[in-house]
């Protein structure tokens, strides 16, 4: 289970100009468009109450961007909302129109003011703060439940909430370099980063979740984009207990702890002697929609037969949430 730790921090986008690395990013914009490309980053610097933390980008898997306001926007919103109670209809109308013309940062500012002790609902119903808020949410395609925090996912296991303080991302795409402001970005997927496309990443496969037959998140998305013909290797260690297989303990190579029997799969006549996966094996596939569970086991080296995102899982044809244990899996690119 992911651990969500809401920490008050200011996140600064760190650019290491002496050791820049191309980072593959997929940006989901608030208008529904998706843009992919590369950007030059090295790490994210977190300034917290406990000091500054520099997190390598290769450990950041995704970011969900909330909407934060600032003092100038909050002060302006406060002044305009108060004018909505003015007895002069034209003044109320002008204040309402100014509110609806403000940028996206006005949304959390209006929300905060409405729920504050300073807010006194107007007796006039023609131009209201709630009405202005609804118009701004529609204008910027923002859900009413939008958070004022940015949530950063790290190593597919932890999430941190706070403020990711940057103005824009310069993204190099096949159509040229695009400069995309933060307020237009809803979500960022960070793909694998490595020097010239090589390097290592380590993942944890949980027996309670990452089972190939689990239709709800059974395949772990590594963020590693492999190209056809690219060489890569997978090594795994650890031990899991399959509640679905009489509580037997399995290792990544498919062997059963305390047993001398060879690995067994559900494939007729197969006892681990070929590429078909055995129960407990680490398996992989290329692309989210692929249905092929390819055997990796405890140690594997091979070549990508197609281009796609690398997904990994634990092979078992029946999913049982009562499984326990985990595998530590390292993926290396050549």
Together in a domain, 309 and 263: yes
Dihedral of the alpha carbons of 156, 318, 254, 291, in degrees to the nearest 10: -70
pLDDT one-digit tens code per residue, 98-107: 999 999 999 9
Together in a domain, 165 and 24: yes
Closest CA to 329 of 251, 224, 236: 236
pLDDT one-digit tens code per residue, 213-236: 999 989 998 888 888 899 999 999
Residue 305 included in any domain: yes
Together in a domain, 307 and 242: yes
Together in a domain, 271 and 123: no
> How far, CA to CA in Å, does 234 sit from each of 133, 240, 294, 300, 333?
50, 18, 12, 5, 9
Q: Which residues contact 214 (CB under 8 A, 6 or more apart)?
A: 319
Compare 51 and 321 and report the one with higher pLDDT. Answer: 321
Together in a domain, 227 and 291: yes
Closest CA to 167 of 181, 177, 149, 178: 181
Query: How far apart (Å, rounded) are the C-alpha atoms in residues 222 and 43?
Result: 18
Together in a domain, 250 and 108: no
Residue 33 included in any domain: yes
pTM of the model: 0.62
Q: Check whether 19 has a pLDDT greater than 50.
A: no
Residue 144 included in any domain: no
Together in a domain, 32 and 169: yes
Q: Please state the domain count of the chain.
A: 3
Mean of all residue pLDDT scores within the chain: 83
Domain assignment of residue 169, given as a range: 3-66+149-190
Query: How far apart (Å, rounded) are the C-alpha atoms in residues 114 and 88?
Result: 21
pLDDT one-digit tens code per residue, 53-82: 777 777 787 888 889 888 999 999 999 999
Together in a domain, 186 and 203: no
Listed residues 125, 160, 190: the one ending a domain: 190
Q: Can you give the length of the chain in residues?
A: 334
Together in a domain, 207 and 329: yes
Together in a domain, 172 and 246: no
Residue 84 included in any domain: yes
pLDDT one-digit tens code per residue, 23-53: 778 899 998 899 988 888 777 776 566 667 7
Find the distance separating the first CA and the last CA of the chain, reported in whole Å: 32
**How far out from the chain centre does Cα 17 lie?**
25
Question: Which CATH number covers residue 213?
Answer: 2.60.120.430
Together in a domain, 223 and 294: yes
**Quick check: helix, strand or coil at residue 271?**
coil
Q: Check whether 294 has a pLDDT greater than 70.
A: yes
Centre a 10 Å sphere on the Cβ of residue 1 and count the other Cβ atoms it contains.
7
Together in a domain, 207 and 296: yes
């Amino acid at each position: 289970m992911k651990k969500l730790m809401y920490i008050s921090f200011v996140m600064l986008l760190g650019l290491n100009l002496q050791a820049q690395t191309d980072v593959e990013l997929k940006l989901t914009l608030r208008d529904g468009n998706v843009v992919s490309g590369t950007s030059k980053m090295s790490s994210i610097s977190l300034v917290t109450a406990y000091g500054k933390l520099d997190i390598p980008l290769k450990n950041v898997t995704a970011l969900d961007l909330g909407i934060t306001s600032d003092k100038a926007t909050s002060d302006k919103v406060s002044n305009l909302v108060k004018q909505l109670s003015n007895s002069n209809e034209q003044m109320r109308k002008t204040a309402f129109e100014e509110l609806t013309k403000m940028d996206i940062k006005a949304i959390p500012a209006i929300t905060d003011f409405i729920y504050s002790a300073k807010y006194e609902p107007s007796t006039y119903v023609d131009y209201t703060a709630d009405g202005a808020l609804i118009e701004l949410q529609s204008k910027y395609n923002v859900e009413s439940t939008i958070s004022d925090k940015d949530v950063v996912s790290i190593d597919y296991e932890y999430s941190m909430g706070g403020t990711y303080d940057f103005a824009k991302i310069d993204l190099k795409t096949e159509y040229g370099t695009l400069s995309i402001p933060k307020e237009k970005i809803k979500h960022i997927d960070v793909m694998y980063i490595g020097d010239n496309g090589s390097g290592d990443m380590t993942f944890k496969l949980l027996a309670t979740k990452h089972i190939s037959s689990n239709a709800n998140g059974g395949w772990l998305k590594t963020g590693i984009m492999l190209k056809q013909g690219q060489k890569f290797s997978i090594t795994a260690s650890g031990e899991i207990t399959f509640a679905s297989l009489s509580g037997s303990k399995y290792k990544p190579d498919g062997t059963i702890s305390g047993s001398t029997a060879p690995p067994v799969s559900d494939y007729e006549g197969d006892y681990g002697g070929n590429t078909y996966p055995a129960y407990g094996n680490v398996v992989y596939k290329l692309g989210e929609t692929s249905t092929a569970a390819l055997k990796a086991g405890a140690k594997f080296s091979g070549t990508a037969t197609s281009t796609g995102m690398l997904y990994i899982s634990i092979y078992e044809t029946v999913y049982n949430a009562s499984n326990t244990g985990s595998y530590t899996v390292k993926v290396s690119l050549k």
